[in-house]
Chain A
């Protein structure tokens, strides 16, 4: 296979440390996951990895204009080009630096690959007792066509601290880029994190994005994933609650068309009592697009008094679109309230008639209802600019005539 050989050639030339070498060997033993792997049964990497790639190649600089074009225009910006940190804001009580090596003890093949090949990414540490009011924008730019690149990032939110991020990956002058990103997040006691991922890259881009969140007591983490662009997207979002009264919230929107595929895998591991999790994922699938949802909630023995709620709602709007949904509950404690709901269907006929009786044409009514359906998951985004952007992207992709300002 194409990419596997490239990886072998690349690693043979590099002087990998013993740890990295062994991680890579571990990866190479089975290679990329296939649809025989339960966690990948609906998502085939075959096409993505059969292409020709360079590995961790570096291209050109990015101009100020280009940054402006793709930025939300927030005050604090962290800019990385082809993985390299090139610009960072100065913020009191927060240290931001380039990639630093760290180990994460997961058993995921792609994390092992990331660990062994990664050279780039960011390291952010928010000191204790710090509240950063202004959200921080993290912009990853890629400039090399046919590149397979690893980002490896780590964020620590100190005790009693609060911070918000927006992360976006953008290809410039290139399209076929395959990113394998891994982000490790530590939420210390009583900290609060909001992390927004805007996935709206170019039509031939591929992304595997893994975020592992480790939460201590009384911490709250909110992760929002907004998928609009890109050809192949696989998100692995994992939460581990290691302290009482922790809360994990996640919202997701996928609006896909053409041959897009988006696979959202989420996992909440309730390892401590008195914790909560809330999950709302909405999918709208047009044309030949394909959606996958796999949400797992695990409640460990002795993790009593857990409230876990999960919902996955899908609209299939084309004959050729498909959805595979697998919500899972694994419960080993009895005093818990866990539920998941999953619906797949079309727009509510009553609502359609209601709108038409108010003079709104059928197609427009359908588009508005679709917008309304998806935008519910936007309501939990607290950064106005992100919510507005999300609505705008939604309106554009659904081609509805709505004013998102009123």
Chain B
């Protein structure tokens, strides 16, 4: 589904990703872990098409199509979803209005008829239940005055509403208490199918206690330096990152 080859990207003259390779197939869950500053958030931003980042080399293919040529909204229309580490507040726009717009924009792009308001509300109610979201929430303004947990839950709610093919969860677990973490993880698990894929970007393995990844990758200094099964995450949790990063440093030196 997703093929990233030798990706080099960064901000202005500062190269952050230094030749990253990653392949994700439908039905898989990948966890990308790594110490702070290793390039995790840059990766998610580049996949989603944030124009603040420049791609210098390499390619990203999504369902055999070059993703780098597409605008952020076109990537979304194709089924790429990014759960933001810091979801943006949009005062003045209600959650329901926002979601309605994004669903219908996608439908427009795909040539499907707009979703009617009753159908939309029905769908929303369904997905709200899945994520234990209370009713008044829909009329609140996008992320305005939301707690950290509410913002993250809102991200997963949108993911549920948009049913993307590839979901990237960027530090979705940060700032969540244990109950919220469980709800979010539960939502992700229920939305999982053989047709979609998930990339979980995280610093800790906490979230991985609830969502079992098929693969775990360690990102360091802009490259994936180790890949393995979920056991790798446990190993990282107990031993920290030093043992692998030192090796990598030696190799590059």
Contact = CB atoms under 8 A, between A and B. Distances in A.
Please determine if A and B sit in direct contact within the complex, based on CB atoms under 8 angstroms apart: yes
Contact of A356 (B73, B98, B117, B141): B73
Interface string B93-105: 1101110111111
A358 B158 contact: yes
A163 interface: no
A348 B102 contact: no
Contacts of B96: 406
B166 to A, nearest CB: 12
Interface string B20-48: 00000000000000000000000000001
Nearest to B51: A353
Contacts of B81: 357
A375 to B, nearest CB: 4
B91 A376 contact: yes
Given A357-B72, A360-B73, A351 B101 contact: no
A351 B90 contact: yes
A401 B103 CA distance: 13
Contacts of B75: 357
A354 B82 CA distance: 9
Given A360-B73, A364-B105, A406 B49 contact: no
Interface of A is mostly: helix
B88 A403 contact: no
Given A359-B105, A359-B109, A406-B100, A354 B88 contact: yes
A371 B88 contact: no
Contacts of B80: 357
A383 to B, nearest CB: 18
Contacts of B94: 406
B84 interface: yes
A402 interface: yes
Nearest to A358: B102
B76 to A, nearest CB: 4
Contact of A368 (B77, B82, B101): B101
B100 to A, nearest CB: 7
B71 A356 contact: yes
A354 B92 contact: no
A371 B158 contact: no
B229 interface: no
B71 A374 contact: no
Nearest to B78: A359
A350 B50 CA distance: 9
B223 interface: no
A401 B50 CA distance: 24
B91 A359 contact: no
Contacts of B84: 354, 357
B87 interface: yes
Interface string A330-372: 0000000000000000001111011111111110110011011
Contacts of A375: 92-93
Contact of B97 (A350, A356, A402): A402
Interface string B47-90: 01111100000000000000000011101110011101001111
Contacts of A165: none
A374 B158 CA distance: 25
Contact of A403 (B48, B51, B92, B117): B117
A253 B88 CA distance: 24
Contacts of B49: 353, 356-357
A187 to B, nearest CB: 29
Contact of B77 (A355, A359, A365, A369): A359
B62 to A, nearest CB: 14
B152 interface: no
Contacts of A348: 88
B8 interface: no
Contacts of A374: 92
B87 A354 contact: yes
Contacts of A401: 101, 104
B100 A358 contact: no
A373 interface: yes
Given A358-B162, A360-B102, A360-B105, A406 B97 contact: yes
B106 to A, nearest CB: 4
B73 A357 contact: yes
Interface string B156-182: 001000100000000000000000000
A406 B101 CA distance: 11
Contacts of A373: 92
Contact of B101 (A350, A354, A376, A402): A402
Contact of B92 (A362, A365, A376): A376
Contacts of A376: 91-92
Nearest to B102: A358
B54 to A, nearest CB: 15
Given A361-B109, A372-B141, A376-B91, 11 more contacts: A357-B48, A357-B75, A357-B84, A359-B76, A360-B102, A361-B73, A373-B92, A374-B92, A406-B94, A406-B97, A406-B100
- Nearest first, the 6 A-B pairs at minimum CB distance are A372-B92, A359-B76, A356-B72, A358-B102, A375-B92, A354-B88
Interface of A: 348-351, 353-362, 364-365, 368-369, 371-376, 379, 401-403, 406
28 contacts: A349-B52, A354-B84, A354-B87, A354-B90, A355-B102, A356-B49, A356-B71, A356-B72, A357-B49, A357-B73, A357-B75, A357-B76, A358-B98, A359-B76, A359-B77, A359-B102, A359-B109, A361-B109, A368-B93, A371-B92, A371-B93, A372-B91, A372-B93, A375-B93, A401-B101, A403-B117, A406-B94, A406-B117
